Amino acid sequence: MKEIASRTALACLLAIASSTGTFVVSAHAQADVSCRSSDSAGDLLPDDRAARDALLQSTAFDATIYGMSAYLQYEQLYRQVYDRNSANYTGFNRFSHERELAGPDYATFKVPNSDTLYSTAWIDLENGPVEVNIPPTSLKYFTLNIFDIFGNPGNLSSRTIGFKGGRFMLAPPNWKGTPPPGVTVYRSSSVRVWILMRVFAQSKRELKLARDFQDRVEIGSAPPTGQIPAPEAGAAGFLRVLDNVLRVDGCLPGEEALVSRFRILDILGTEPFDPAHLNATSLAAVENGYREAQALIERSRSQLGSPTGTGWTKVRKGNYGFDYVRRSVTNAAGLGANVREENSSYTTFVDGTGKRLDASASDYVLQLKDPPPVNAFWSVTLYDARTFALYANPLKRYLISDRTSGLKRGADGSITIDIRHSPPEHGNWLPAPDGPFFIVIRAYSPKPEMFEGKWLPPAIKAQSRTSKASR
């Protein structure tokens, strides 16, 4: 499962329409998502060159902000489904499984969790629904995190369907058929769907259970599919991808007017996008708009989280709606993150005073008087800030969690974690590199007080080499 994107998405909450037995990715998923109109020529373009180029530049900017998340998903789709030279190639409707928990040499993507095994698959719904069968399990936690082409997620998980398994049908947006008896419909808001499966495992027994679960999740077959344009860099490459996405997957209701504006860029014309339809000056204007949008996305990354006041940043998760800047920035930072009801997380690069975490200069203590309130499990994971990889250490310990063997608790139930390069005399040691690092707290199936902000992680406290933390 090489090159699976590290990028992490956020967005539409999974809704359950209990009256119909239908899961939907978004409130719009069952509506007509066609973005086409009877007029494929697009709006008027000014005769004046400067005015025309200004309009093309601003429209390219808006198209990039709108479609960047789809472009990033498309890159992964192409590698896994179409590029037979890719180490990540599997084709449609087939899982690629990771069989081991992530460690320091994990190269698939940066900042992996080391709590779950990963599996990934792309599903093609162009010819109709595809059945997904989930087996019953005694696992602690699992999710089939299901994303539309724009990165909006939903879940078939232990949180949403329990542990008894079941038969589910992934259906395209406008499907009007009747499912077989005993099959629950999960209606997607796009034709091409990405499944990122996470299966909890810590002990050897749990690893065996997790691998068995991976093998027993079944996806219905898909007929052979034709080729699609390879993703390429630059504005022309981006617009070619966006044109394909809108033709195949459509857009959501309420977006028709916005998408119609993109027609002056040769999007959704009578033929697929061709940069030859734009002259050199127009292409330059489009390229400028594309680059401006990319720069804005990069400059906006710091706004993704909400500071807690104790050095931590709460990762913002929720429904994108029409917040296209947030959607693009989030997916540029990382595909595959979940909704807050499934996974809440915090990250920090600094201690409680705002000083950068660096185990070559200080030892640190994180005291959890009240561990994260969860229905599944939580973890505190350390990463090398120079590589964004898990830190290699003699214990092969990359995290502290409620499942850590030999976890020591205080009389009041609190957990004190010693974060340092050299081992402490006793306590819960989380090994750190002799240099900068950062910490991520993850909470799976969090209780409401977690994602509502009623529980917040305490500040990490720096200690001198001579002082000793209370254990």
Q: Both 274 and 167 in a single domain?
A: yes
pLDDT at 111: 87
In 3D space, the residue among 5, 56, 35, 34 whose CA is nearest the CA of residue 231 turns out to be: 5
pLDDT at 318: 59
- State how far the alpha carbon of 241 is from the alpha carbons of 74, 157, 271, 327, in Å: 7, 31, 14, 17
SS3 377: strand
Q: Both 198 and 86 in a single domain?
A: yes
Of 215-219, 291-295, 467-471, the one with minimum mean pLDDT is 467-471
Query: What's the whole-number mean pLDDT along residues 189-208?
Result: 95
pLDDT at 26: 41
- Cα(305)–Cα(316) distance, rounded to whole angstroms? 5
The structure tokens listed for 139 are 């696992």
Of 5-14, 251-260, 313-322, the one with minimum mean pLDDT is 5-14
In a domain, 403, yes or no: yes
Which of 298, 322, 357 is the last residue before a domain boundary? 298
209-258 pLDDT tens trace: 999 999 999 999 988 778 899 999 999 999 999 999 999 999 988 999 99
The structure tokens listed for 359 are 């185990």
Scan for tokens 């990540």, then name that residue: 88
pLDDT at 220: 95
- DSSP designation for 195: E
Q: Which pLDDT band, with edges at 50, 70 and 90, does 136 fall under?
A: very high
Q: Both 283 and 360 in a single domain?
A: no
In a domain, 136, yes or no: yes
pLDDT at 17: 27
Q: Both 358 and 264 in a single domain?
A: no
Which of 298, 323, 358 is the last residue before a domain boundary? 298
Q: Return mean pLDDT, the chain.
A: 88
Q: Both 242 and 382 in a single domain?
A: no
pLDDT at 316: 76
Of 136-150, 163-177, 238-252, 337-351, the one with minimum mean pLDDT is 337-351
Strand boundaries in 88-165, DSSP class E: 96-97, 116-124, 130-134, 142-147, 153-157
Q: Is the dihedral of CA 110, 114, 115, 120 positive or negative?
A: positive
Residue 69 has pLDDT above 60, yes or no: yes
Which of 245, 272, 298 is the last residue before a domain boundary? 298
Q: Both 131 and 272 in a single domain?
A: yes
Q: Which pLDDT band, with edges at 50, 70 and 90, does 135 fall under?
A: very high
User: 59 versus 302: which is more confidently predicted?
Assistant: 59
| DSSP labels, 20-72 | TTEEESSTTTTS------S--S-S---SSHHHHHHHHHHHHHHHHHHHHHHHH
Count of domains forming the chain? 2
Q: Which pLDDT band, with edges at 50, 70 and 90, does 470 fall under?
A: very low
CB under 8 Å to 66, separation ≥6 — which residues? 258, 259, 262, 324, 328
CB under 8 Å to 237, separation ≥6 — which residues? 231
Q: Output the domain CATH number for residue 456.
A: 2.60.120.600
CB atoms within 10 A of CB 298: 12
In a domain, 304, yes or no: no
Q: Output the domain CATH number for residue 126.
A: 2.60.40.1610
112-121 pLDDT tens trace: 899 999 999 9
pLDDT at 467: 52
Domain that holds residue 291: 1-298
Q: Which pLDDT band, with edges at 50, 70 and 90, does 4 fall under?
A: very low
CB 127 within 8 Å of CB 223: yes
Q: Both 26 and 93 in a single domain?
A: yes
- State how far the alpha carbon of 144 is from the alpha carbons of 72, 166, 193, 207, 314, in Å: 20, 13, 12, 17, 24
In a domain, 469, yes or no: no
| DSSP labels, 216-245 | H-EE---------PPP-SHHHHHHHHHHHH
Q: Both 28 and 163 in a single domain?
A: yes
In a domain, 468, yes or no: no
Q: Both 127 and 255 in a single domain?
A: yes
Percent over 70 (pLDDT), the chain: 90
403-449 pLDDT tens trace: 898 999 999 999 999 999 999 988 899 999 999 999 999 999 999 99
- Cα(318)–Cα(340) distance, rounded to whole angstroms? 6
Percent over 90 (pLDDT), the chain: 75
In a domain, 329, yes or no: no
Residue 389 has pLDDT above 60, yes or no: yes
pLDDT at 31: 43
In a domain, 46, yes or no: yes
248-267 pLDDT tens trace: 999 988 999 999 999 999 99
Q: Both 243 and 370 in a single domain?
A: no
pLDDT at 39: 58
Q: Both 393 and 452 in a single domain?
A: yes
Residue 6 has pLDDT above 80, yes or no: no
In a domain, 328, yes or no: no
Query: What's the whole-number mean pLDDT along residues 52-58?
Result: 97
Residue 5 has pLDDT above 80, yes or no: no
Scan for tokens 């198209």, then name that residue: 63
Residue 71 has pLDDT above 60, yes or no: yes
pLDDT at 27: 36
- Cα(194)–Cα(158) distance, rounded to whole angstroms? 19
Q: Both 290 and 427 in a single domain?
A: no
Angle at 163 between CA 92 and CA 151, to 5 degrees: 40
